[in-house]
Amino acid sequence: MKYFNILFLAILFFSSCKEIADLPPPIPSSNLAEYIAENPDSRLVRDSLIACAASMADTNIEFPISIFFLPENGASNFRYFETENIEADNSDLGNYEEMKLGTKPVFNGYLQRFPRPAISANTWGIVTNKREDGNIYISNPIRLKYNDLPTEHNSDLVTIDQSQPLSPLFTWEDGSIDENEIYFQVISESNGDLLSGTYTYDKSFRFYDVSNVVLNIRDVTPVPMLESGQDYGFLLMAVSVDNWVNLVIEKGFVTE
């Protein structure tokens, strides 16, 4: 479903430290339709690449926007395309020009992101990659609302109930923006590794009860487990139907 076209981000993302400017400036090259036409042996697979975008807590940095995506199934050749403005037809791939943005690892590489400079007006973006099958996968359009609805960062909106020490219950409230369609939760280990990544329509998640989970990006056997007396991180992203992150919550906790 299009609501799953979302993706998660690392605790590092929320720090206010200035990011090293080691990325080239965005330079438009070929548009997305031309890129696909240049690869006639690759089948275009739509709506199957999880991606979203958010603004950082500190916008006074060189790259205050991040476009996140899940590089699954041997993905490579990551590219980002963007329309000139929000009025462009977001279903016409010819309206998307490539931006030469480098990528950064998230959760030690489990996810990736394109750090992007600030924009003067809202626009649409699409992430693409190639996978081991040789096909080109593209995300649903992402509406960058950096100017109108910057992402809210508020760690006070989550409650962590640890009455079951190794199965904490996370509940949260919506922030000031009430356009949330789905919620993405990440539990990370102290070294930054992603332990679990789940989506719910509910504003609650108990580790590791997946009865209300609608998408699991780390569906592994045996299932993830917490250990006593360890530091963990909780990350919540509330995402709109057009894949803009309205709310980010991050909070650390220690198991008993």
Q: What's residue 3's pLDDT?
A: 42
Q: What is the pLDDT of residues 86-100, one digit of tens each?
A: 999 999 999 999 999
Asked if domains 2-144 and 152-254 share a fold, the reply is yes
User: Rounded to whole angstroms, how far apart are CA atoms 150 and 155?
Assistant: 16
201-226: average pLDDT: 97
pLDDT of residue 162 exceeding 80, the answer is yes
Q: What is the pLDDT of residues 187-203, one digit of tens each?
A: 999 999 999 999 999 99
Which residues are CB-neighbours of 204 under 8 A, at least 6 positions away?
169, 170, 171, 172, 212
pLDDT of residue 185 exceeding 70, the answer is yes
Q: What is the pLDDT of residues 134-144, one digit of tens each?
A: 999 999 999 99
Domains in the chain: boundaries: 2-144, 152-254
Give domain 2-144's CATH number out of 2.60.40, 3.40.50, 3.20.20, 1.10.20. 2.60.40
CATH says 152-254 is which class? mainly beta
Q: What's residue 58's pLDDT?
A: 94
Assign 47 a pLDDT band (cuts: 50, 70, 90): confident
And the tokens for 180? 């949330």
The pTM assigned to this predicted structure is 0.88
| Distances from the Cα of 103 to the Cα of 3, 40, 85, 122, 228, angstroms | 24, 26, 23, 21, 35
